[in-house]
Amino acid sequence: MAQQSSGLKGMCRFLLLVLVFLPREMTSSVLTVNGKTEDFTLNTVLGAEESLRCDVQNRTGDEGLLWYREQGSVDLKDKNKINSSSVCVSSISENDNGVTFTCKLQRNQSVSVSVVLNVTFAPLLSGKDIQTVEEGRSVNIVCNAKSNPQAQMTWYKNGSILSLEKNRHQVQQTSEFLQLSISKVKKSDNGTYSCVAHSSLQRQTKDFHLFVKDRAVTMPIEPIIAASVVVFLTLFFGLVARRRRIMKLCMKGEEPQRDTAL
């Protein structure tokens, strides 16, 4: 009976120890970025400055932290690596749109929180302002365009919406550019082409000037080559024939005169 009682006491002590230490063993560190425990999108604008603060929650000791911009690590000072770490993104530009910043627990990098920057900005247009093309050839007018949200794009010519001609005009649009391709260029294609981008933020326009020059008069190469060959051969054989005549005359002139006996 005493032996059973002793066994029960030992079991109770073991269970008590399990109950005491189990919560501590099962508790794991959790990360928050700007107070959020899940990945999120941060809305911002051009020229703004954003601060991202990563903190370790439920920690039982000091925890090291790592920051990444896309796949590259962010250089942090020693004091900015333990338990709490901040990254400042200043002078935000259009190139920061869609960039992901991720805070990770150093000892277990599967514990992380990511932030995607959503930078809103009006359309930004660029491209080659002036192009000259020869009549009858083809030309591409490319309007580089960046905007968030994405803008609606339209081509104008001399202030009016461009009327596209089948088999001569082709328009291609992506999230980064609007391209107008013109084949078999005519004199009537000469003019100012405007790339118009309209978003919920703003309407922007960029002008492109196309100059069509006269078709160059080209001489046929093959007849010229053939004629050159004929002239060369004629001169060559003429010189050869003349050289032979000159040689014959020289040889006659060099024959010795014979004395005639009286």
Q: Which residue has the tokens 């100059």?
A: 211
Res. 100: pLDDT tops 70? yes
Condensed to tens digits (0 to 9), the pLDDT of residues 18-50 reads 444 444 433 488 999 999 999 999 999 999 999
Q: Distance between CA 189 and CA 134 in Å, rounded?
A: 11
d(CA 175, CA 197): 12
Alpha-carbon Rg for the chain, nearest whole angstrom, is 43
Residue with tokens 């040689």: 247
Q: Does 206 have pLDDT greater than 70?
A: yes
pLDDT at 25 (0 to 100): 38
Rounded Cα distance, 104 and 85, in Å: 10
pLDDT band (50, 70, 90) for residue 230:
confident
Its pTM stands at 0.67
Q: Which of 73-77, 199-203, 226-230, 236-240 has the lowest mean pLDDT?
A: 236-240
In the prediction, which pLDDT does 65 show?
97
In which band, very low, low, confident or very high, does the pLDDT at 85 lie, cut at 50, 70 and 90?
very high
178: nearest Cα among 161, 198, 204, 197? 197
